Structure 1
Amino acid sequence: MPTASTHGISTFKGEQRASRGDRIGAPALLLSVLAATAPLMVVAGVIPTAFGTAGVVGVPLLFVIVGVLLALFGVGYAEMSRHVHNAGALYACVSRGLGGTMGAGASYVALFAYGAMQIGTYGIFGFEMSGQVFQHWHLAVAWWIPALGGVVVTAVFGALKIGLNARTLGVLLAVETLLTLVLDVSFLGDAGPQGVSAHAFDPGTLGGAGLGSALCFVTAGFVGFEQAPVYAEETRDPRRAVSRVTFLAIGFATVFFAFSSWAITVATGPAHVVGRSREQSANLVFALDRGRLGGAFTDTLHVFLVTGIFASMLGFHNVVARYAFAMGRDGLLPAAIGRTSKSSGAPAVGSLLQSGVALVVVALFALTDHGAFGPRGPDPTAPVLRLFTWAGGVGALGVLLLMATAAVAVIAFFVKRGAAAVQGWRLAASGLAAVGLLAVLVCSVKDFAVLLGADPGHGLRWALPGTVALAAVTGLAHGAVLRARRPQVHAGIGQGNEAFQLEKAAAASEAAE
């Protein structure tokens, strides 16, 4: 049986119920978090879709507004991360502040929301890969074939050491960020018919029925910044590293995405960006680039879009696996899921669970893809406009609900500990963040039909957001049952390895007596 290291951690088969510590420093943590945001995928996929679907020119301004809101959230969340080192991150935060039952509800929402976003990326990955194969080798490959291949490759990487993942993600992130900046500069250097205009930052551009949908897309672009505490148990000096990485990720995403989305409006002209985005969707930036930097650069950009999507898939996969691990450890999922690999320290069972679910969902989507195997043939836009967009939208709603609840939990946590006066300004920031995040959530749900491209009365308009509510209710019900029937397990929700160490201490004390 493995023994504890100098860091008090031994995780094979979950003996200590903790992730293996001291495995990544602040730079590697930052790279893992930023890679999950997939900068090039957001610029090439999410931003044009936001312009086209929502019909809102002021997407750059929305990135600034949402960035400020998330910075307010980060003030309390980062301080909370100094006290809570748990792979369950957001749900552990909710549990510590609002109790185990609320924590259970949050855990199910987290698992569902991040899982949906991760699975959605397989849609755009398969679409882009099949397009590249056809362009370069003239072979017609259905999107779901590379998508399923992506599930397998992601599963392999997910079982490796997080340090190796961080190095892989770091290299991909650096290259795609540099290429995107070159692209942005080319747009500004060769402006569209309206010249270098700052019109996209005019508050008047935020009108229209699609504002809530645009907010949902913009929030999805940021998702990943809040993942730093997920790795706290595996990070060197988590009390400082997690907080720093959280704010660096928010700042990077705000500036980078606001600048890139503005550059796109300059290249098309603000008056034409919505129309061009609706016409060309995820191909918009490549069409704009080909006439400026040439075909070779565009082809290179396509290659790193694929690697960027893969980086995002892997980043979200790692997060989902760790949430599942934390839930297994806390008794919210079968105990076997709360185990880690002997060799790598990765949450192996949680990783396999995520991969298995992704495999089933992608396969089912392919089978029901408007006659994918029938005489009509597949709908070529389905993996982007449905699997990627719908799953990403639903996931963003779940993360918004989680963050709003966590902001309230931060306030409750410090108030219960008599630290309200000392933490006053942080609690005020958390309160503002909670109100703002709830407002964004309500607007996003209200305009969800716009995101779907469906009539307001369409069944999916409420059914898809309803899946987030269903996950929350399921978790709350499970938490209530545990409170009534297994109060000791309920008391340990969100406590993670700390609860186990207390159990060990209590057992040792009883044995000594």
Structure 2
Amino acid sequence: MTQQQILDPQDPSLHDGKHDLVGHLGTGSLIFLIIAASAPLTVVAGGAPTSFAVTEMAGVPLGYLVLGIVILFFSVGYAAMSSRVTNAGAIYAYTAAGLGKRQGLAVAWLALVSYNAMQIGLYGIFGFVLAITLDAMAGITVSWWLCALTGWLLTAILGAMNIDASAKVIGVLVLLEFFIVGAVDFFALSTPADGYPMGGFDVPEFVSSPGVGAALAFGMAAFMGFESATIYTEETKNPRKTIPRATYGAVTIIALFYAFSVWAVQVGIGETLVIDKSIEMGPELVFWYLAETGHPVLADLGRVVFITSLFAALFAFHNAIARYILTLGREGVLPEFLGRTSPKTHAPIGGSLTQSALAFVCIIGFAAYGAVTGAPFEFPVIVMFGWLTNAGAFGIVFLLFITALSCVFFFRGDASINLFSRVISPVLAMIGLGFVFIEILIHFDVLVGAEGFSPLVIGMPTVILLTGVLGLIRGEWLRRNRPAVFDRIGTGHGVEFDNQHT
């Protein structure tokens, strides 16, 4: 086995004080952090109505189950790898171990750009929703970008805190989301519009529908961040057990909860009417339903929790980015100061501050662009959120495909891992993820709100993939010019580790 395959992140000899990630996350806390990225209320209130409106098909609930199965197949090989490759580099480290160091660095570059696109794009919708909520509920008029900067500041503060403390905050926010969605489910199923139709789970109808690809492309956003358990490897109590349990648990909860909740909304509004109402109401659908059924206070609470749902997702993606930067800084691929952790909180302070700085510049940049061009009111949602998050999702699905391939290569010839875990499951995941990747590409114009052909349809996916090419080139340059740094790619450790363990 290689050096990085047998390292134990809990081994005190691996810590030099400047680069330590320290935490005591258990399975439950880790599941909350994973689910926070998928934003349950955001999916049910925003993602599902969008999917109903675009696909005009009843089988949207089934789409979440199908995607859940694909991701569970992915998780089998992924979880097996988590017991062998243990550092906060996650997907990056797995690819370096399975496909090679240059390919690993290509994935690292691609991951940084994709996760940053997802995280920064969320500030657009966060600022917009907070601004219109303050106006509607309190009569306070505030610019979207000031609201976005409020979320940015809170994210920056939490990002500098110890993960155990911030996990508790995120846990409360996620529980609030489950409460609101659970209330919607209860009221919808208590007063069905037309009985309990099961068209949402009609497999033959789903498979034959022309909108099946679009439904899966839109639905994939509901699972973004499920792979993030491995970035907390060094901050968990028992990573070899906790990481697989948290990954399986989170994916299962997400798939079942979303499928059931979206079906419940379908039952409450009506299987046919829900499509028309989704087209008409958009993200207001769930809150409109609560108000229409005599629960206006709950509807207002839901709007507030919708904002905290977006904030929880912002923080979850911020964490992922900060830990990727930390790992690359440790290894010397990025400047060394980016690999430092706070001596007080042991948070990845270098990576966290860097991500916060980039997000700040982007928020101000989009605000300035909107002001100069006289952009419409919906600009932060249509452009900042729509363009960036869909570009990021495109990149992340590709990353998952490459990771599944890495699992196959990593375990080849390893008889200690059963055939299903090392070959069958990852290959099935690759087939499913490959189909979703192609569908996202085909429907990219719809995802970013473009009408007909647009340079965005070609340009944004190309930019995302080109970052991986640049990472590959950088890896080759390091191999030829800085072999010591090249050797550390994917290990999660830097020169201090080399000095202690040579």
Could you say which TM-score interval applies, normalised by the shorter chain? over 0.9
Give the equivalent residue in structure 2 for 1:406: 403
Rounded Cα–Cα distance in structure 1 between residues aligned with 2:213 and 2:333: 33
Secondary structure at 2:12 match in 1: coil
Give the equivalent residue in structure 2 for 1:28: 29
Q: 1:385 aligns with which of 382, 387, 401?
A: 382
Give the equivalent residue in structure 2 for 1:509: none
Letter in 1 for 2:21: S
Higher mean C-alpha displacement, 208-217 vs 331-340: 208-217
Give the equivalent residue in structure 2 for 1:394: 391
Give the equivalent residue in structure 1 for 2:90: 89
Give the equivalent residue in structure 2 for 1:198: 198
Alignment partner of 1:46 is 2:73? no
Query: What per-residue deviation string (whole Å, max 9, x for no partner) do you get for residues 225-258 of structure 1?
Result: 1100100011111010001000000001000111
Aligned partners of 1:212 and 1:448 also within 8 Å = no
Rounded Cα–Cα distance in structure 2 between residues aligned with 1:380 and 1:52: 22
- How far 1:52 moved relative to its partner? 2.2
Rounded Cα–Cα distance in structure 2 between residues aligned with 1:450 and 1:214: 12
- How far 1:261 moved relative to its partner? 1.5
Secondary structure at 2:411 match in 1: helix
Give the equivalent residue in structure 2 for 1:223: 224
Alignment partner of 1:490 is 2:469? no
Aligned partners of 1:113 and 1:399 also within 8 Å = yes
Equivalent residues in 2 for 1:294-373, closer than 5 Å: 294-369=295-370, 372=371
- How far 1:441 moved relative to its partner? 0.4
Give the equivalent residue in structure 1 for 2:21: 19
Secondary structure at 2:293 match in 1: helix
Letter in 2 for 1:445: L
Rounded Cα–Cα distance in structure 2 between residues aligned with 1:52 and 1:11: 53
Letter in 2 for 1:262: W
Higher mean C-alpha displacement, 25-34 vs 216-225: 25-34
Letter in 1 for 2:245: R
Rounded Cα–Cα distance in structure 2 between residues aligned with 1:9 and 1:398: 32
Aligned partners of 2:96 and 2:102 also within 8 Å = yes
Alignment partner of 1:447 is 2:443? yes
Q: Cα 1:404–1:286, aligned 2, differ >3 Å: closer, same or farther?
A: same
Rounded Cα–Cα distance in structure 1 between residues aligned with 2:243 and 2:212: 32
Query: What per-residue deviation string (whole Å, max 9, x for no partner) do you get for residues 143-180 of structure 1?
Result: 11101121111101100000001111111111221221
- Structure 1 spans left out of the alignment, 5+ residues: 507-513
Give the equivalent residue in structure 2 for 1:423: 418
Aligned partners of 2:73 and 2:428 also within 8 Å = yes
Alignment partner of 1:432 is 2:428? yes
Letter in 2 for 1:19: L
Rounded Cα–Cα distance in structure 2 between residues aligned with 1:363 and 1:207: 46
Give the equivalent residue in structure 2 for 1:278: 279
Secondary structure at 2:249 match in 1: helix
Aligned partners of 2:197 and 2:271 also within 8 Å = yes
Secondary structure at 1:342 match in 2: coil
Rounded Cα–Cα distance in structure 2 between residues aligned with 1:485 and 1:55: 55
Q: Cα 1:384–1:11, aligned 2, differ >3 Å: closer, same or farther?
A: farther
Rounded Cα–Cα distance in structure 2 between residues aligned with 1:365 and 1:48: 27
Higher mean C-alpha displacement, 171-180 vs 84-93: 171-180
Give the equivalent residue in structure 1 for 2:3: none
Aligned partners of 1:19 and 1:233 also within 8 Å = yes
TM-score, normalised with respect to structure 2: 0.93
Aligned residues: 492
Aligned partners of 2:331 and 2:494 also within 8 Å = no
Query: What per-residue deviation string (whole Å, max 9, x for no partner) do you get for residues 411-446 of structure 1?
Result: 11111xx31574311121111111221121011101
Aligned partners of 1:88 and 1:323 also within 8 Å = yes
- How far 1:6 moved relative to its partner? 7.5
Aligned partners of 1:88 and 1:326 also within 8 Å = yes
Aligned partners of 1:57 and 1:206 also within 8 Å = no
Cα RMSD between the aligned structures?
A: 2.1
Q: Cα 1:280–1:425, aligned 2, differ >3 Å: closer, same or farther?
A: same
Give the equivalent residue in structure 2 for 1:475: 471
Query: What per-residue deviation string (whole Å, max 9, x for no partner) do you get for residues 264-289 of structure 1?
Result: 22233232333322221111111111
Letter in 2 for 1:148: L
Query: What per-residue deviation string (whole Å, max 9, x for no partner) do you get for residues 195-214 of structure 1?
Result: 32111222424666654443
Query: What per-residue deviation string (whole Å, max 9, x for no partner) do you get for residues 380-432 of structure 1?
Result: 322223322322211111111111111111111111xx315743111211111
Equivalent residues in 2 for 1:164-313, closer than 5 Å: 164-192=165-193, 194-203=194-203, 204-205=205-206, 210-313=211-314
- How far 1:498 moved relative to its partner? 8.3
Letter in 2 for 1:66: L
Aligned partners of 2:330 and 2:494 also within 8 Å = no
Aligned partners of 1:31 and 1:173 also within 8 Å = yes
Rounded Cα–Cα distance in structure 1 between residues aligned with 2:195 and 2:384: 36
Rounded Cα–Cα distance in structure 2 between residues aligned with 1:10 and 1:421: 30
Aligned partners of 1:90 and 1:106 also within 8 Å = yes
Give the equivalent residue in structure 1 for 2:139: 138
Secondary structure at 1:368 match in 2: helix
Q: Cα 1:206–1:285, aligned 2, differ >3 Å: closer, same or farther?
A: farther
Aligned partners of 1:230 and 1:319 also within 8 Å = yes
Aligned partners of 1:50 and 1:218 also within 8 Å = yes
Higher mean C-alpha displacement, 197-206 vs 357-366: 197-206
TM-score, normalised with respect to structure 1: 0.91
Query: What per-residue deviation string (whole Å, max 9, x for no partner) do you get for residues 32-56 of structure 1?
Result: 2222221111111222222223444
Taking only the aligned residue pairs, the percentage that are identical comes to: 36
Letter in 2 for 1:467: V
Higher mean C-alpha displacement, 85-94 vs 391-400: 391-400
Higher mean C-alpha displacement, 306-315 vs 97-106: 306-315
Aligned partners of 1:394 and 1:464 also within 8 Å = yes
Q: Cα 1:410–1:278, aligned 2, differ >3 Å: closer, same or farther?
A: same
Rounded Cα–Cα distance in structure 2 between residues aligned with 1:333 and 1:56: 47
Aligned partners of 2:126 and 2:307 also within 8 Å = yes
